[in-house]
Amino acid sequence: MSKSVIQGLPRWTLVVPALAFLDLVLSWHRDLGAVLLILVCAGLGAAVFAAVHHAEVVAHRVGEPFGTLILALAVTIIEVALIVTLMASAGGDKAATLARDTVFAAVMITSNGILGLALVVGSLRHRVQTFRVQASYSALSVMTALVTLSLVLPTFTTSAPGPQFSSAQLAFAGVTSLVMYGVFVFIQTIRHRDYFLPAGTDGDTDEDEEHHAAAPSSATALLSLGMLLVCLVSVVGLAKTVSPNLESAVETAGLPLPVVGVVIALLVLLPETIAAVRAALRDRLQTSLNLALGSALASIGLTIPAIAIASIWLKGPLVLGLGGKEMVLFALTVVTGLFTLSTGRATLLQGATHLAVFSAFLFLAVSP
């Protein structure tokens, strides 16, 4: 946490939400010319960064592991809003796979991209980093179950045509995802909170004073919470405004439609990637793992129920089942994660392996 955040919110974090909201008002229900499109895209990106920054301020106030949980929830709310908004705008068959593509992209980005990058930069500075096996294994096991139940099973069910759930199956998947995520949050924040604290930190203390300064005041945290809400509203509105242009750009470039989901996930998770890398550089790899795996869990555990509810009024099919290529990548991710998280010690080689899997995902998304 930077000194400027502790002493008071930086000026840009107060200006950006206001400008993003003004950008939304000016562009709402208007055809975007070149200049207005640039402004909308700039406002959208800035609002995402500001939202996660304010979430980080609130997170620092409440301490670990609540801090990483708030960051994950904020990012997931943005992701769900973007998915539902784009599905409503596109409609029909064009939006059928958007939720699946975005959620799977978020899983691959967090469990391979963010995790691998944190391991690489952390090991380059500290050579070997330690973390708590109990927390990381717990998160990985829940993520594996959620992805399998929500994104793999639809490919093999027979109640609906294609890789889809029937209404009853979708409801079951949504409730199960929400319950499993709720249990994980209970374990993370109450029952076994000490598992998710950075290695070497006493479970009875909230923060390691060597690495963290005093938390921001309650007034600062409340102001950040208000700015966070403004940013979320702006992100949802600006995403709806720019969504036709995003889809047209992908089609014009001749790229597969799933690239839209990858772009959404990359945009939403970029600020969290920076937070995870900063934590790894401070030799707090457990915080990086909490951010990466916690975001993957929140993405599935909250997005699937939200999409299940939204499907009541959204028209068109909802395809959630992964294809064979994606299943292979997910299986490789799980196996790689098991080996990486089994020892409690991380090196450069493990980070490079995860980045290799992530590179394969990006390459195959563009060139299937």
CB atoms within 10 A of CB 122: 27
**Residues near 35 by Cβ (< 8 Å), separated by ≥ 6?**
none
* Phi then psi dihedrals of residue 129, to 5 deg: -120, 150
- Tell me the C-alpha distance between 337 and 365, whole Å: 21
- Tell me the C-alpha distance between 188 and 342, whole Å: 19
What is the predicted pLDDT for the residue at 255? 80
DSSP 318: -
R_g (Cα) of the chain, nearest Å: 20
- Tell me the C-alpha distance between 292 and 108, whole Å: 10
At 78, list the tokens. Answer: 């943005």
* Phi then psi dihedrals of residue 10, to 5 deg: -60, 150
What is the predicted pLDDT for the residue at 175? 93
- Quote the pTM value: 0.81
Positions in the chain whose pLDDT score sits under 70: 1-8, 63-65, 67-68, 71, 89-94, 199-215
Residue ranges in 28-65 assigned as alpha helix (H): 34-62
What is the predicted pLDDT for the residue at 203? 46
CA distances from 174 to 14, 149, 167, 259, 362 (A): 36, 10, 11, 25, 28
- For residues 297 and 321, is the Cβ–Cβ distance under 8 A? no
Region at 208 (left for phi over 0; alpha for psi -120 to 50; beta for the rest): beta
* Phi then psi dihedrals of residue 123, to 5 deg: -70, -30
What is the predicted pLDDT for the residue at 144? 94
What is the predicted pLDDT for the residue at 361? 95
At 198, list the tokens. Answer: 């950075």
Residue ranges in 253-323 assigned as alpha helix (H): 258-281, 285-310
* Tens of pLDDT, residues 200-218: 654 444 444 444 456 678 7
- Tell me the C-alpha distance between 295 and 49, whole Å: 16
- Tell me the C-alpha distance between 47 and 235, whole Å: 6
In DSSP terms, which residues pair with 129 in a beta bridge? 346
What is the predicted pLDDT for the residue at 191? 81
- For residues 266 and 109, is the Cβ–Cβ distance under 8 A? yes
- Tell me the C-alpha distance between 294 and 270, whole Å: 15
* Phi then psi dihedrals of residue 199, to 5 deg: -60, 135
